Structure 1
């Protein structure tokens, strides 16, 4: 399950966006809470909700972007609209918005059930609802509601990662980073963080003793090459470069169909020079050159960075939720497009800590594509590890 705090705005256009979904039978208004007399009136117009939110927000002239717009999404149909409604209300309470006026809308036009929440950041007392470390707290509150024990989850993830065949520490790190963790190297351990919180560590000796045990499955490698050869002529292999990372139709297909996850390696937003492949089906990690040279597999398009997308990928997204996250990002873009006559939307990051956002630098960057990871015949430990230690940053882009 994921939670995403959407773009800030000085107006409440998210009300029209969500009620528009309802009008098109793509959504359902589940709850109108704390709107006073409006809750007793039939046939309330969207503008009535906007007027009420503006009236509450007018008690403070210092808050420039009062709209609070959030999406909470489950994987597929794991949670019903009723369950999502209950989770969303508890989440609002945990984030300090329980007493605020807000709308709760269920969206049913994507592969993943999800709800949207629209409220105001201005409290009844005229003060701003705390947004301190907001994006980090968003996941902590959701984890508490869902009863997630992060330490137990990490223990399970470490056990699973150690069961893979890998040849370098860097490859082991990728296995955790694709699940939203960041790792920092110390003298004897990797310290492990998630959502800005330290949750555990692993001794380097545990990793190092697994490296010599790696056995290449030549039959499987041959099979993967055959898969690449067969489908690269069917699916578009062109790489699109956005500030969310690299993507391609071909890579998406391999991820969904065969559990082959490609991680592209690039620098400063330029076309990738290599990749690493994670074979989740057989629990093995390969340098891309062991399977197929990047130039023989993919076509790189010119830089197509969409500068309108400033939202970083959240650090807490689980691998299984990446399709889910993509839907939310797409909806976010849809909302912006539906408001292209309104210049009030603001993409400027808040002052909170945004550990997932990476400013351009000379440091090498590894762009992550959901569920498929590939690298050319390059020593990822020697090159990627060295640069990451220099900057103390994670290998993959996170959301």
Structure 2
């Protein structure tokens, strides 16, 4: 376990950060200690007022908000009860056991971790000394908790190395190399909360890049009829491999109901990012080199846009999806407009190919004309500069006159 302690002069900003994560489905408040009401009866205002009231007991202390993160090894999967107990023991050992504090479990990283919000003003108005708190109290507490709860030890590892695990590695899941549920969960934690998708095919356009697929089953299956959802691992040929795992078996419960709520939110969020994809596609067709959908895939890859082509058995393109990794938005082609749909892209490719062939024919014809003109020019030059033949016919009388003149001269 690794503990990171930060202080601030604004408890509201820290509380906002965690509550926004909750609204986005990336976190959950799992405990409220030393609050007058139970957790399920606390709203944002009641939480904030409790901290403000405590801070008002000593207004001379400006930096009174404390934000702690407790980070666990990626291989660890603890229950809420155990996480709450770990947080409770840790807060007591560093001297904050009687302070009001909130515990949030976050799901937006590749490793389990908690965020704890508290302040350092006690009920008698005295402040808890924060100077060297990490070295004096946090480190000894961390080591004791690792032993008590059987946690993976962080000894010998740098804190930065542990915290850098937050974003999961962007690599594909390989069946058999890691426990399936854990591998799929790592991908879901990244994709479900970072990307903006508004349908199951759009979500799968991203998940498939990590060899994961969300499947409702066939229409006559029990899973489909019960609005269930399965997550599968795909092999290198995009075929399901291994045993599918039910959405409800994952800790975050990424069920169909959960996804449908995300669809509504994301539909609005990604609206302002359409132009990036549109402009990239238009620019790709502008130079007339894109004559097949496959060439479009290669052309806009440099813009951070992954294109998913859906084809029938006879090779006919019937669907197209764009995954923009720069804005983390996913768009079905038709949602961007007719010209960006499968039919629109096919027509653009046909036009470009036709223009390319026409230009090639013009080039060949022009070359032939140039060759003809060159030959004609050479022929004319040859005629103009040809040397007369000295053996041409000379009349007999002229020859005789020449001889006579020569003789008389002699």
TM tier, smaller: 0.3 to 0.5
What is the TM-score of this pair, normalised by structure 1?
A: 0.36
Structure whose residues are more often strand by fraction: 1
What is the TM-score of this pair, normalised by structure 2?
A: 0.35
Please identify the structure whose Cα radius of gyration is greater. Answer: 2
Structure whose residues are more often helix by fraction: 2
Comparing both chains, which one has the higher relative contact order based on Cα–Cα distances under 8 Å and sequence gaps of 6 or more? 1
